[in-house]
Amino acid sequence: MPTPTVLPEPWADSAVSVVVPTYNEATNLPTLVEEVLSLELTRLRLLIVDDGSPDGTGDVAEKLAAEYAGRVTVLHRTAKDGLGRAYVAGLTRALDEGAEFVAQMDADLSHPPAYLPQLLGTLLSTGAGVAIGSRYVPGGSLSHQWGLHRRLLSGWANTYVKSVLGMPIRDVTAGYKMWRREALQALDLPSVDSNGYSFQVETHFRAYRRGQKMVEIPIHFRDRGQGTSKMDLGVQLESALRPLRMRTQERRARERYGKPPNRSR
């Protein structure tokens, strides 16, 4: 378990919203909420986006919202239509509620909340638009519980996406990150069309194409707590095809408007 960075008072008082999509995470959610809200960030808020989980995650979330009144809110969605759509709904709500910084993280305890102050401090100290918790920069690591097959699949996915889209970041599929408000608004969230885990790649690509500064910090990626992974065959297929579609769309846009690709960071 990493030791949380202690930020100076002006930084620690930043308005931060942490958006956490959930589906069947009732057993993990209380631990996650406790770890997040124990951090020394005075204006940190947690927004849980539940897609109608049949295991009662929504009810657990409402109890936590009552217990931590004013710090935890719940957005209930009636349909399970993918991680990407849940994130669009949650990130949009966080912006509407006035967050200065918005973090994304999984509900399964694989993303240690202790890194949140470091992500915030990285944005404030570097002027970056997004700070990414990376498994693949020096100092980053994966749970020892990950088997060889899973490690190879993750490594291949990153190599594949980088070769297709040419982004200069190590962990292009990372789901743990924090955005500046202005950087998130620049993504044009309503037009993001990824449904599943490819949402992470699409938003990284949009940030890169818009010339936003992207900084990676090393994290240790834990194995999930309780429950099972949501990475089914359909999600894997979308994740494989989406980068090709994005590259095609980008090429057509360049041909239409005659603009060279933006390679700034």
Q: What is the pLDDT of residues 38-53, one digit of tens each?
A: 999 999 999 999 999 9
Q: Where are the domains of the chain?
A: 9-255
Phi, psi of 30 (to 5 degrees): -60, -40
Query: CA-to-CA distance for 222 and 105, rounded, in angstroms?
Result: 12
9-255 under CATH 3.90.550.10, yes or no? yes
Tokens of 227: 């429950």
Q: What is the pLDDT of residues 198-254, one digit of tens each?
A: 899 999 999 998 899 999 999 999 875 555 554 444 455 555 567 667 766 666 555
Q: What is the pLDDT of residues 198-214, one digit of tens each?
A: 899 999 999 998 899 99
pLDDT at res. 143:
74
Which of 177, 168, 170 has the alpha carbon at shortest distance from 133?
177
Query: CA-to-CA distance for 232 and 3, rounded, in angstroms?
Result: 34
Query: CA-to-CA distance for 170 and 172, rounded, in angstroms?
Result: 6
Question: Cβ distance 48 to 18 under 8 Å?
Answer: no
